[in-house]
Amino acid sequence: MLKSRKLRSLFAAVCAVGSACASAPKVRPPPPPEDCPPEALEAMKRLDIHYGDHGISFLPQDQRLGGVPVKEGPVRVWTIGAWKPLPNNTPLFGRIFIGTNRVYARFTEAHLPGGEVVPVCMEIGRDRDVGVPMRKGSTPERVLIDSTASVESVHRFGPR
């Protein structure tokens, strides 16, 4: 019994400094920079999708809330407002990456109303800030962000 108390105390002390517990939050860097595929750059030029920031929503138009839980992996969002040539509520598809205090998303497809799937190169963030901050109340198991955000058309994913 004494031995198990010592082991539990030692384990608790190690957990307190966060070096050996499975439940300790892991520090995760942002995703590495990545070149945009030439097809995406050509498609955005052909469609006159301007570089700069635009609005998106992580929820359909009729369900927008203050915050939304997100997970790492595939994601679909919708445009807010018309961005030439993408009409309001155009779906964008991409991938979410969870960092230490920020959430990153890279979008690689836009689904146009006529059914055409267009390769794009867009990243969540604004004015040189890549990613969005996690909302207060986020935990490693439940990451929350605002349901709307800015996305920028970019030439290259990563720090600007």
In degrees to the nearest 10, what's the CA dihedral of 118, 84, 31, 145? -120
pLDDT tens readout for residues 48-96: 887 667 888 888 766 656 689 999 999 999 999 877 778 889 999 999 9
Is pTM beyond 0.85 here? Answer: no
Is the pLDDT assigned to residue 128 strictly greater than 90?
A: no
Compute the distance between CA of residue 27 and CA of residue 56 in angstroms, rounded to an integer. Answer: 27
Q: Return contacts of 23-28, CB within 8 angstroms, 24+ apart.
A: 23/140, 25/100, 25/140, 26/140, 27/100, 28/98, 28/99, 28/100
DSSP reduced 3-state for 61: helix
- Mean pLDDT score of the chain: 81
Q: b vs e for 120-136, b when ≥16 Cβ sit within 10 Å of the residue's Cβ? A: bbbbbbeeeebbbebbe
User: Between 145 and 83, where is the model more confident?
Assistant: 145
Q: Where are the domains of the chain?
A: 25-157
Compute the distance between CA of residue 101 and CA of residue 145 in angstroms, rounded to an integer. Answer: 11
- pLDDT for the residue numbered 60: 73
State mean pLDDT over 109-113: 94
Options 1.10.10, 3.90.550, 2.50.20, 2.40.128; CATH for 25-157 is 2.40.128
